[in-house]
Structure 1
Amino acid sequence: MKMLTGLAMALASAVALPVAAQTPPPPPPPEAKTQAMPYVMASGMSDLYEINSSQIALQKSQNPAVKRFASMMIKEHNKTTAKTMAAAKKAGLTPTPPMLDTGATASINELQAAAPGDFDRIYLAQQLPAHQAALDLQQSYAANGDQAALRANAKAAAPIVKRHVEMVSKLQGGNMAGQAM
């Protein structure tokens, strides 16, 4: 009986602990690094995740630096989406509007459910791998993509995403609390 009581108490305490998992959106499929339509869809989904997650950050974060970063993410990822769609049309494609897959949706749901004290940590923990995957996508397509207009788009987007990776790293380190972006 003591063993069952101890097991039940251990299980109850394990369940009561806050979930520390951060669910970054999944990386794009390998074909997105070389093929036009998968690239357009993956790039659009990446931007849409950044926009949606950052809109949540504007509502939930109490950190002015995180809010500035989120505001910039919305602005810059709206621009990169528009440029990617224009490049896709120039390449003769007719892409559908970006949509989130189940993995990115899970990331958004995790942010929506995050407790106020955990939000910034979870948001930034998602942002770093999401931006690293986006940077890999942009750099890979710029080097190996099958459509010139989209290669040029990816080449232009890569430094923007690289800057975002650097900013997230600094935010995670707490180095940007008082700095303007």
Structure 2
Amino acid sequence: MKSNRLATVAALLVATCAIAVPQAAAAQVGDQDATFLKSAHQGNLAEIAAGRDAQKNGISACVQEVGRVLVRDHTKLDADGKALAAKLGVALPAEPTAEQKAELAAVRAKAGTSGYDAAWLTAQDAAHTKTLALIDTELASGDDSEVKAAARAARPVVAMHLDMVRGGVCHAAKHPGTVKAGSGGHLAASDDARTMTGVAALAGGGVLAALGGVWFVRDRRTRRAR
């Protein structure tokens, strides 16, 4: 009987510890850091939705291209943010804020009209300005080094996006070839560059192999002549 009681107590202790560990981990994250992770996630969701909408309803090729860039970059930023939030035990919202959804709905209402692009660009100018302010607040007031590092890595990406829509004017050509964000690595379309590098390496290897073959044949002929 005594051994059974001890086993029961031990099982309860293990279960209690298992429950307490994630709670303790979450408690280690300050309010500022947790707020940043949640707000950044909602911002990413909002930008992904807005980018997809621009690809579908944008009138100009410029707006459609900026929309594509937003989807690409914010998807990668959000993947990094979700991984960090899970690691730190921070529960993230499931969708953008009511304000963000209302802003996209107001822009979407202009789909099919000449006013869509201007409305979309103006909304994105305001959204990315707010996101930069959110990032700067985290960098100035955050406590967790990993969260601050994520904010620091995201800043040039958001600043690049703002340059592309600043003043409600589309500047799709303003984004550079590569922009780094978090552990996601290079965000911009560097796949082509990597492909060309690989092709060049293969070509270089082929040339070396060919030269080696020519040298080998000449060497054998020289030896036979002797």
TM range, normalised to the smaller chain? Answer: 0.7 to 0.9
Q: Which ranges of structure 2 fall in alignment gaps of 5 or more residues?
A: 1-30, 176-226
Q: Check the 8 A contact 1:53/1:111 in 2, yes or no.
A: no
The structure-2 alpha-carbon separation of the partners of 1:85 and 1:175, relative to structure 1 and needing over 3 Å to count, comes to closer
CA drift of 1:173 comes to: 3.6
CA distance in 2, matches of 1:59, 1:146: 40
Contact 2:163–2:174 at 8 Å: present in 1 too? no
The 3 A distance-change label for structure 1 pair 51 and 174 is: closer
Structure 2 counterpart of 1:156: 153
1:29-57 Cα offsets, whole Å, 9 max, x none, are xxxxx612211110011111111111111
Other-structure match for 1:78: 75
- CA RMSD between the two structures: 2.1
Bigger mean CA offset, 151-160 vs 34-43: 34-43
Q: Between the two proteins, what is the percent identity of the paired residues?
A: 24
User: Residue 110 of structure 2 corresponds to which residue in structure 1?
Assistant: 114
TM-score by length of 2: 0.59
Paired amino acid for 2:98 = T
Choose which of 147, 161, 165 in structure 1 pairs with 2:162: 165
TM-score (norm 1): 0.73
CA drift of 1:175 comes to 5.3
- Distance of 2:83 and 2:58 partners within structure 1: 33
Shift of 1:148: 1.4
Query: What residue identity is the alignment partner of 2:60?
Result: N
Deviates more, 1:39-48 or 1:97-106: 97-106
C-alpha distance in 1, partners of 2:152/2:54?
28
Partner in structure 1 of residue 126 of structure 2: 129
5+ residue gaps, structure 1, are 1-33
Whether contact under 8 Å (1:58, 1:67) holds in the other structure is yes
Cα distance, 1:102–1:174 mapped onto 2, change above 3 Å: closer
CA distance in 1, matches of 2:174, 2:99: 32
Distance in 2, Cα, partners of 1:40 & 1:175: 29
CA contact (8 A) 2:128 2:162 kept: yes
The answer (yes or no) to whether the contact 1:65–1:180 under 8 Å persists in 2 is: no
Pair 1:101-2:97 in alignment: yes
The higher relative CO (CA closer than 8 Å, separation ≥ 6) is in: 1
Q: Which residue of 2 aligns with 1:55?
A: 52
Report the structure number with the largest CA radius of gyration: 2
Quick one: which amino acid aligns to residue 57 of structure 1? Answer: A
| Structure having the larger proportion of residues in helix | 2
Q: Deviations over 1:40-91 (max 9, x none)?
A: 110011111111111111111121111111000001001111111122233x
Tell me: CA distance 1:175–1:106, structure 2 relative to 1, closer, same or farther (3 Å): closer
Distance in 2 separating the partners of 1:174 and 1:149: 33
Deviation beyond 4 Å, 4+ runs, structure 1: none
How far 1:101 sits from its partner (Å)?
Answer: 1.5
Letter in 2 for 1:54: G
Tell me the equivalent position of 1:3.
Answer: none
Shift of residue 146, structure 1, vs aligned partner: 2.3
Residues 156 and 98 of structure 1, relative CA distance in 2, 3 Å threshold: farther
